[in-house]
Amino acid sequence: MANKLSELSIFFPFWNEEKNIEQVVKKAIPIAQKIADNWEIIMVDDGSSDNTLPIAKKLASENPNLLVVSHHKNRGYGAALKSGFEKAKYKYVVFNDGDGQFDFSQISGFIEKIDNADVVIGFRKKRLDNPFRHILMNLLKVWDLIFFGFNFKDIDCGFKLFKKEALEKIMPFKSEGAMITTEILARAKRKKLKIAQVEVSHFPRLYGDQSGGNIRVIVRAVRESFALWLSLHYGRN
């Protein structure tokens, strides 16, 4: 496909990322200008208790292509992604985690594959976080293979590109927590969407704290996973 998309919605989920948000968004702007004729960047604040929201509002006031979506309270990673998907208006939609652990310029590799796919998902060449997160990733892969019948290199990589028409076939999503990535892929598989994978670099978090290894997050993910399985097998979705 051409190096430039006709239109692209970009969104970043943020929760207590006051030290990351400005750098992440300002790095993304020139890339967006280069890869899309029409673009928007949506900053999703998931009920931050620090200065993330005021910074997001300031950035949006300086650029009409920037928008803010805010949750009154912290609802979870899945809820932030859901809000981003719902707000996105353009033909292609990409999300990228807002903690600075991915290089957004690598979206070029996703664009190269999107013509022949409905969804392009990233997989980390070398994952640079704590060993416990590696264990959780491998457990998730086994879990999803058993319960949902799919196996991807990096299920919870926070860098994914969608055709909007494909998203509309699998929305709305129900997961409000970490199982959102499993739900996306499970629903895509159910609808027989074509999913491509592309390698991305991963960088250590410089500021803020990761929540993925939190026991409450894990328990919630397990609960949502069972709810998703029941919904897909016995519900209407």
Average pLDDT over residues 20-39: 98
Q: Give the DSSP letter string of 146-179.
A: HHH----S-TT-SEEEEEHHHHHHHPPP---STT
Q: What is the pLDDT of residue 1?
A: 40
- 57-71, 132-146, 148-162, 210-224 — most confident range: 57-71
Number of independent structural domains in the chain: 1
Q: Range of 128's domain?
A: 5-234
C-alpha angle 230-233-236 in degrees, rounded to nearest 5: 90
> For residues 11 and 88, is the Cβ–Cβ distance under 8 A?
yes
Q: Give the DSSP letter string of 181-214.
A: HHHHHHHHHHTT--EEEEEE------SS---TT-
Average pLDDT over residues 155-174: 96
Average pLDDT over residues 214-220: 72
Q: What is the pLDDT of residue 132?
A: 62
End-to-end CA distance of the chain: 33
- Predicted TM-score (pTM) of the model is 0.88
Q: Give the DSSP letter string of 76-135.
A: -HHHHHHHHHHH--SSEEEEE-TTS-S-GGGHHHHHHHHTT-SEEEEEESS--S-HHHHH
The CATH number of the domain holding residue 87 is 3.90.550.10
Mean pLDDT is lowest, of 24-28, 93-97, 150-154, for 150-154
**Rounded to 10 degrees, what is the CA torsion of 233, 187, 222, 174?**
-100
